[in-house]
């Protein structure tokens, strides 16, 4: 599952980088993906919305079995 999650993160990374941010995969623990938002995303007031509405939604659509995405 970790390789599938890594591939999805590579697909969404350019969208985050376009706004001055980035994302790092920290771990996959069971059905929970842990990521770290970096750059502008790390301190953005909308970071939780980005995490849930964009990152988590995309990963869950493309990687069966992922229950949630959390910040590490």
Look at residue 29 in the predicted model and tell me its pLDDT. Answer: 95
CA dihedral 8→41→18→62, nearest 10 degrees, is 20
Look at residue 9 in the predicted model and tell me its pLDDT. Answer: 97
pLDDT tens string 10-58: 999 999 999 899 999 999 999 999 999 999 988 888 899 999 999 999 9
Look at residue 34 in the predicted model and tell me its pLDDT. Answer: 98
Taking phi over 0 as left and psi of -120 to 50 as alpha, with beta for the rest, 67 belongs to: alpha
Backbone angles phi, psi at 45, to 5 degrees: -65, -20
pTM value is 0.91
């Amino acid at each position: 599952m970790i390789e599938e999650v890594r591939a999805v993160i590579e697909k969404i990374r350019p969208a985050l980088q376009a706004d001055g941010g980035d994302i790092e995969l920290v771990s996959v623990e069971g059905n929970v993906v842990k990521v770290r938002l970096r750059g502008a995303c790390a301190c953005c007031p909308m970071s939780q919305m980005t995490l849930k509405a964009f990152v988590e939604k995309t990963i869950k659509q493309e990687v069966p079995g992922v229950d949630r995405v959390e910040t590490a």
